[in-house]
Amino acid sequence: MANFKGLVMQQTIRTLREQGNGIRAIARMLGISRNTVRRYVGGDVSAIIETDPLEPKVPTGSAAEDKSPSSSSIPARSQSKCLPFQQIIEEKVGQDLHAQRIYQDLVHEHSFDGGYDSVKRFVQRLTQADGVAHRRMESPPGFEAQVDFGKGAWIADENGKRRKTHMLRVVLCNSRKGYTESVFKQDTESFIRALENAFRHFGGVPKTLVPDNLKAAVILADKYDPELNPKFNSFAEHYNMAILPTPPRRPELKGKVERGVGYAFNSALKGQKFSSLIAQNEHLRWWEETVADTRIHGTTQKQVRATFELEKPFLQALPAMLFPCFTEGQRIVHRDGHVEVAKSYYSAPPEFLGRKVWVRWDTHVVRIFHPVEFRTVRIHSRVEPGKFNTHNSDISLQKISNLEHGEHYLLRELEDIDSNVHTWGTAMLRVRGIAGVRVLQGLLNLTNKVESSVLSRACERATQLQLWKLGDLRKLAKQHPAELHPELPFTQTHSIIRDLADYTAVLGAIIPETSGEGDTNN
């Protein structure tokens, strides 16, 4: 059947030509080759009215109708081996699977014996047959910036040693104002510092940032709910900025920076040689100011610098401080309830024993985060390598001995048992000092073996006799109550006791007879 789109294309080309457009301009506007435009303008209808791209092509016109199918004057195009699998391929294209993945699935799941190029061409025809053009998305001022890495120029030092660099390009989508910086690594720290330099170069922060799924920003790529790198997520919170990674295999959704990366390399770095990373970045800054900012952008048809001056007031204000520099990573809470950070050890809450947690540290503080909710569960100050920093609440009560509780805790326990026991314990601790803390622990243990009344009498007696050893207390507790307080008999005579008559004689010698003297005086 004739392809209606071929007729429409013919009419469109002729209309554009009548309006005075050149072949090159028509080809650029319609996204087709110049040779195709020339054929259409020349009126070669047989080249315009094409067959359905998913059906074998056969000659068209009366000449084809007059000839039998076996005619070999115009060879018919062979049928694609993918045609029996068209429905399967359409479903996989709808799942955003690329041609290589579709080819692998056809081979392993359906014993497909065709080649990869056949699948690739078939997929291209399917995606082109829908007739839906890509929609251009323009952003309001200050709303969105796109970012991507590309290759940078090689660094060659004085010894001839060469080192590869990666060029980061950040583009504000409204004005196309860009910032370019080369780094040695595409890690999270380098990525964040380069972005901070870009924001200060712009003098503000966009509301959203669109990166691709590089590991420095995204841990797990997902079309609907990607998992961001925790450090990068904190960076976004610090700058009050939303991160919107592009879906997997959809680079066209950040087309402004995709084109910008190639433009920056070809215009600024291609063919250049630098002796250091500093020299390369100085060159990029010069190129940005003198070339990239002064150009008339092909889409907006306006100077980039002039458009940026209109966009700049819409950027968010820069925070007062840079994003704090720290290191982070996953750790496992060991059997002793601690995680290892830079050869030091920090406790985590008991419920995370044996689990993975996220740890972030700088020169002063170590923070432990919940592995799923990413909220802070413990904060520690840094300690020297080989040292432990243990929070009291991180120790299970079953693992805390009475000795660790301290003397005040032990004395409160004794006070709840009996006043005599508490009195003896307090006096003993005052006499024996630090060594008495373990004695208090032994006294508490003794309360589980001796009746409280017996222990109370033993402590009372030991206090009277000033016996401050636990062994003496155990002996007193084994004695009968009568032995603790014996009734001594009153002794009338003893070798050390004087006779009562002796005291009478002494008193008589001291006190004179006074009765006669009184009568005389009277």
Give domain 144-314's CATH superfamily: Ribonuclease H-like superfamily/Ribonuclease H (3.30.420.10)
Mean pLDDT computed over 51-72: 38
- What is the pTM (predicted TM-score) of this model? 0.47
Cα 146 off chain centre by: 22
Mean pLDDT computed over 280-296: 92
Instruction: Write down the pLDDT at residue 345.
Output: 94
d(CA 326, CA 240): 19
| Strand, helix or coil for residue 327 | strand
Instruction: Answer yes or no: is pLDDT of 181 > 90.
Output: yes
d(CA 203, CA 312): 7
Can you give 22-49 as a three-state secondary structure string? Answer: CHHHHHHHHCCCHHHHHHHHCCCHHHHC
- 474, two tokens: 């155990």
Mean pLDDT computed over 19-23: 75
Mean pLDDT computed over 492-519: 66
Residues 231-273: pLDDT tens digits?
888 899 999 998 888 876 665 555 566 677 888 888 889 888 8
Instruction: Write down the pLDDT at residue 380.
Output: 92
Residues 477-495: pLDDT tens digits?
887 655 555 555 656 666 6
Query: What pairs with residue 218 in β-bridges?
Result: 228
**Quick check: 319 and 238 in contact, CB under 8 A?**
yes
Instruction: Answer yes or no: is pLDDT of 10 > 80.
Output: no
Instruction: Answer yes or no: is pLDDT of 183 > 90.
Output: yes
Mean pLDDT computed over 305-313: 94
Instruction: Answer yes or no: is pLDDT of 4 > 80.
Output: no
Residues in the chain: 522
Residues 99-152: pLDDT tens digits?
877 888 888 888 888 888 888 888 888 776 555 555 556 778 998 999 989 889
Instruction: Transcribe 331-366 into DSSP letters.
Output: EE--TTSEEEETTEEEE--GGGTTSEEEEEE-SSEE
**pLDDT tier for residue 230 given thresholds of 50, 70 and 90:** confident
Instruction: Answer yes or no: is pLDDT of 323 > 60.
Output: yes
Instruction: Answer yes or no: is pLDDT of 58 > 70.
Output: no
Amino acid letter for position 401: S
CATH topology of domain 327-397: OB fold (Dihydrolipoamide Acetyltransferase, E2P) (2.40.50)
User: If residue 4 lies in a helix (H) or strand (E), which one and from where to where?
Assistant: helix 4-18
Domain boundaries in the chain? 4-68+75-129, 144-314, 327-397, 402-484
Q: Report strand pairing: 208-210 vs 144-151.
A: parallel
Of 52, 13, 51, which is closest to residue 32 (Cα–Cα)?
13
Residue 212, classified by CB atoms within 10 Å of its CB into exposed (0-12), middle (13-18) or buried (19+), is buried
Of 428, 480, 472, which is closest to residue 454 (Cα–Cα)?
480
